[in-house]
Amino acid sequence: MRLLQALEMKPLDRPPIWFMRQAGRYLPEYMELRGRHSFQEAVHAPEVAAEITLQPIRRFDLDAAIIFSDIMTPLEAMGVTVDFNPGPTLDPMTIEGVARLPEFEPTIVDFVAEAISKVRAELADDVALIGFAGAPITLLAYLLEGGGSKEFMALRGALKKDPSIAAEALGKVGRAMSAYLQLQVDAGANTVQLFDSWAGILSVDDFVDFALPAARTALEYQTVPTIYFAPHGPQLLPYFEGVGATAYGVDWRLPLSEAWGLLGDSYPIQGNLDPAVLLTNPDRVRSAVAEVLAEAAGRPGHIFNLGHGINRHSPVENVAAMVDAVRGEGR
Calpha distance 185→113 (Å, rounded): 9
**SS3 sequence of 40-73:** HHHHHCHHHHHHHHHHHHHHHCCCEEECCCCCCH
Q: What is the DSSP track for 76-100?
A: GGGT---EESSSEE-----HHHHHT
Calpha distance 21→100 (Å, rounded): 32
CB 167 within 8 A of CB 95: no
Nearest alpha-carbon partner for 210 in 196, 223, 228: 196
Nearest alpha-carbon partner for 300 in 269, 259, 258, 261: 269
| Burial status of residue 160 (CB atoms within 10 A of its CB: 0-12, 13-18, 19 or more) | exposed
pLDDT of residue 18: 98
pLDDT of residue 329: 61
CB 217 within 8 A of CB 210: no
List the domain boundaries for the chain.
2-327
Per-residue pLDDT of the chain (331 residues; tens, 9 = 90+): 999 999 999 999 999 999 999 999 999 999 999 999 999 999 999 999 999 999 999 999 899 999 999 999 999 999 999 888 778 888 999 999 999 999 999 999 999 999 999 999 999 999 999 999 999 999 999 999 987 877 889 999 999 999 999 999 999 999 999 999 999 999 999 999 999 999 999 999 999 999 999 999 999 999 999 999 999 989 999 999 999 999 999 999 999 999 999 998 899 999 999 999 999 999 999 999 999 999 999 999 999 999 999 999 999 999 999 999 999 864 4
Determine whether domain 2-327 maps to CATH 3.20.20.210: yes
Nearest alpha-carbon partner for 275 in 319, 224, 228, 211: 319
pLDDT of residue 5: 98
Amino acid at site 99: A
pLDDT of residue 331: 43
Q: Which residues are catalytic?
A: 21, 25, 34, 70, 142
Q: What are phi and psi of 225, to 5 degrees?
A: -60, 150
Nearest alpha-carbon partner for 244 in 225, 270, 269: 225
The strand order across the sheet containing 302-306 reads 64-66, 128-134, 191-195, 226-229, 247-249, 269-273, 302-306
Rounded to 5°, the CA angle 195-248-180 comes to: 40
